Amino acid sequence: MKFSIGGPLKLAFRPWVEGLENIPADGPAILASNHLSFSDSFFLPAVLDRKVTFIAKAEYFTTPGVKGRMTAAFFKGVGQLPVDRSGGRGAGEAAIKSGVDVIERGELFGIYPEGTRSPDGRLYRGKPGGLARVALATGAPVIPVAMIDTEKIQPPGKVMPKLMRPGIRIGRPLDFSRYNGMEHDRFVLRAVTDEVMYEIMKLSGQEYVDIYATAAKRQIADEAKAQKQAHKEAQKEAEQAQKEAAQAEKQAEKQTEKDEKERSDS
């Protein structure tokens, strides 16, 4: 996949990279990245010599049709791990176990702490489950990563990508060994996640929003729905006003005709 997709991708888009020296030549590490675009999972592995294993939602592997099969082939080709997100706590535990397995094999494990793509290019609060628990359970260093401008290459709704240079900044590894044995303490999990998100914010230069991206998406969807409803109601009111104006004009014409007839008769 690095040769068939990674090579042409680097040739076409020429991504710039800072901090490659922070990626260990061997041994396990966790890459914690912001998430701006679907293409993040293409560009980050493409610029690294080592394989990166991400967990991915199971729908990427089970969607029917030609596009679904192509998507599944890609994710299988790059070694992505399917995780069913519909199973609540069980799904979360499966994701954590998958991450631990990757680390125990001495490989690179990639994760998006925000849990989903940013809806507006800002950096959102990290979810404390997967990232912090895998880091504390394994003792692996966490390497913060910032994807730059990837959301501009193929914005939502656009089929053809825009040829421009995205960037990738890789920060120094973070050591959380001081929290060994505390992977079930929710305050520790929150502290670890917030520290990682702070480093990502410094690398990316993004505005930080202290809510989850999933909540922001719901807010945006609710606002769009409210605006659509308001527009519909305004349109309905305008149509009603237009109808009433037409009726008033018609009545005025009738009254004028009546007045003229009365004057004529007199």
Closest listed residue to residue 156, CA positions, set 224, 64, 202: 224
Nearest Cα to 172, choosing from 19, 17, 29, 18?
A: 19
pLDDT tens for residues 2-60?
777 788 889 999 999 999 999 999 999 999 999 999 889 889 999 999 999 987 777 77
pLDDT for the residue 91: 52
Strand 142-148 and strand 167-170: pairing?
A: antiparallel
Q: What is the mean pLDDT of residues 158-178?
A: 92
Task: pLDDT band for 89, please (50, 70, 90 cuts).
Answer: low
Q: Which of 224, 26, 232 is nearest to 119 (CA)?
A: 224
What are the extents of the domains in the chain? 5-211, 212-265
Residue 90 has pLDDT above 60, yes or no: no
Residue with tokens 């990563």: 145
* Statement: residue 237 has pLDDT above 90: no
135 and 94 Cβ atoms separated by less than 8 Å: no
Model confidence over 184-195: pLDDT tens digits?
899 999 999 999
Tokens of 29: 């590490």
* Mean pLDDT confidence for 85-89: 54
* Ramachandran bin of 29, using left for φ above 0, alpha for ψ from -120 to 50, beta for the remaining angles: beta
Tokens found for residue 233: 């109601």
| Residue 79 DSSP label | T
| Range with lowest mean pLDDT among 24-28, 132-136, 190-194, 235-239 | 235-239
Residue 184, both tokens: 């079930």
Give domain 5-211's CATH superfamily: Glycerol-3-phosphate (1)-acyltransferase (3.40.1130.10)
